[in-house]
Chains A and B, each alone.
Chain A
Amino acid sequence: MSDPSTASIVSTPPSTNPNEVGAPTDAGLPGNARKEKPRGLLGDAWRDLRRKPLFWISAFFILIFVVMAAFPSLFTSGDAVNGTLANSRVGPSGDAWFGYDVQGRDVFARTIYGARASIVVALLSVMGTLLIGGTLGIIAGYRGGWVDALLSRFADIFFGLPFVLGAIVILTTFNGADSSNSEWQIMALVIMSLSVLGWPVVMRLMRSSVLATKEADYIVAARALGAGTGRIILKHLLPNCLAPLLVYGTILVGSFIGAEATLSFLGIGLKTPVVSWGIMISEAQNYIRVSPYLLFFPAAFLVTAVLSFVMLGETVREALDPKLR
């Protein structure tokens, strides 16, 4: 999978570096003795985040989608799985806000229930990716030497696999000619393939974080005081290397929602009777001209969900980046 650039897209770099010539310095004069309580990076980040409307907007949408995924019946009483052919391709109306699809199923209900599959798959895949990539990254970064070389080459192998092709190969291999896999098995397969293809980027991210913090003085101090490797990793390294990971993970949820949709669109991801936005879009592609709403509604939900996660990740990344202060 490709490596997103580290440049932030949500706002502009600052127009001034206040530490250059002419910077006002704090003096020991009585008038200037009002010092602000030192707040630390997280505190500053939260203060910044609070002020950004983009943060609140994306958080709001994410909350809605999560609730939708967990309790779909709160949003609709329709049936997402069964329909009557008599209703085939009936447009939106007062009864069915989003109309009916080819098999007469309520599109609104399907869109709401679709949130569950899409978001659950994305979330679990991201967790898998972070776990695998994070662990390997810590090991590679902390141990260094031939362990690092080996793990990095291993990651390179997976880097070389084009994402879509790799996913297709994995899924067709394990989904096989006999599509007798259960709903859960299919989902698990998709989750597994996304994790397998996504972990190299996370590993590199974690590894460079670890490499940067490994030589820090407080790590050396901890070692001098007799702390063992495990303790050092858990208590000292992790908290400092976690931030970029969490930011990337948030953005990755957005990407994976899109990726699941892509796989379903190709016909190798989730399949009926599972309901997901990707499946709905895939089913709608032949009817774009006659019933565009079949494509429009799930696509709109998909796009909003993806954007919310990506924007949230970007705003958090910006807030945490001390260089943009």
Chain B
Amino acid sequence: MSDILVSEQSATGADGSGRPSGRLLEVEDLRVEFRTRDGVAKVINGVTYHVDAGETLAVLGESGSGKSVTAQTIMGILDTPPGFVTGGQVRFHGKDMLKMSAEERRRIRGEGIAMIFQDALSALNPVFTVGFQIAEQFRVRRGMSRADAKKRAIEMLDQVKIPNAKGRYSNYPHQFSGGMRQRAMIAMSLALDPEVLIADEPTTALDVTVQAQIMDLLAELQRERRMGLILITHDLGVVADVADRIAVMYAGRIVEEANVYDLYAKPAHPYTLGLLDSIPRMDEKGQQLRTIKGLPPNLMNIPPGCPFNPRCPMAQPVCREKLPPLLQIGSGRASACHFAEELVNRD
């Protein structure tokens, strides 16, 4: 129970003023489980984060940490069954979306909150032209005529810097290169001017140079439109440039939240420390790569205490018994570790 109260505290974030949040998008103590034939997997166990207009929140975590499921729950595209929301709130402009009707939620999609996905080739419909799929938003949701919608779609393609937008309008997804396809998907998602964009691993499937271009594009578009951006990724390199704040997820909960500078300079959780440590560095050529030993926990059977304890190099007996709550440890920082203070203060 104290878990929740503390999370509420940290939900008021940077100013710590305790005012009820008038934030753009807010997830509070979200809990989601997957009910399968073999058992129940607790995939999200009390996640709280928020994003405001014009800021970028990066949600960092490995596969199975629950970062994508959270995003899907926000969008309302979670597969139900087997996924079920068992607690918490998702507030957009202060209104809890989980309590809205299906129709209200649908209206928010695309207009209020939009989402782009990792693999643009499978995310785009292969039998319709890219132009059609963008124009569709204008025709169906805004009631524009075919000609007007086409014009606007071509404008969107221009905005995402696809050369020869007019010609490319009638191309199919498989006729684009990976980077161009991702741009097209971004164009499609921004058609209705959403206030929040959720990008689920947008560059994971792309080459490194293209990655950089896409991230630059996202940053630019966000600036121009004053959008909130939630960037979901497992790649620390991508995050450093773009994010304002970072939330690190493990086993379905947030284990650390901080602004980007603090996180990289002085991580407050052993997991974050392990992640940062594992990045190969130029000045360490010839030495062995460092990893976090062990595997993520079985979500059907999460061990008591801190879920990270089996892999944690600093684990103490208390870690195996008590679940560490997400506590504020300084201005705008929170960590779910019994020894967060020690970690931050060490040199």
Q: A residues bordering B, Cβ < 8 Å? A: 15-16, 18, 20-29, 31-32
Contact = CB atoms under 8 A, between A and B. Distances in A.
A23 B41 contact: yes
A31 B301 contact: yes
B79 A16 contact: yes
A25 B34 contact: no
Contact of B310 (A18, A24, A27): A27
B48 interface: no
A21 B68 contact: yes
Given A15-B81, A18-B36, A26 B299 contact: no
Contacts of A23: 41, 64
A22 B66 contact: yes
Q: Shortest 9 CB-CB distances between A and B: which pairs?
A: A22-B43, A24-B41, A24-B300, A24-B299, A21-B68, A27-B295, A16-B82, A27-B298, A22-B69
B179 to A, nearest CB: 25
Contact of A29 (B39, B41, B79, B310): B310
B332 interface: no
B303 A21 contact: no
B220 to A, nearest CB: 29
A255 to B, nearest CB: 34
Chain B CB within 10 A, most for which of A18, A22, A25? A22
B295 A25 contact: yes
Contacts of A16: 36, 79, 81-82
Interface residues of B, number: 26
A29 B310 CA distance: 8
A31 B303 CA distance: 9
A52 to B, nearest CB: 16
A44 to B, nearest CB: 15
B69 A29 contact: no
Given A15-B82, A29-B310, A22 B299 contact: yes
B83 interface: yes
Contacts of B294: 27-28
A72 B156 CA distance: 78
A25 B39 CA distance: 12
Contacts of B39: 24
26 contacts: A15-B81, A16-B79, A16-B81, A16-B82, A18-B36, A22-B41, A22-B66, A22-B69, A22-B299, A23-B64, A24-B299, A24-B300, A25-B64, A25-B296, A25-B297, A27-B296, A27-B298, A28-B295, A28-B310, A29-B297, A29-B298, A29-B303, A31-B301, A31-B303, A32-B298, A32-B301
B12 to A, nearest CB: 29
A47 to B, nearest CB: 14
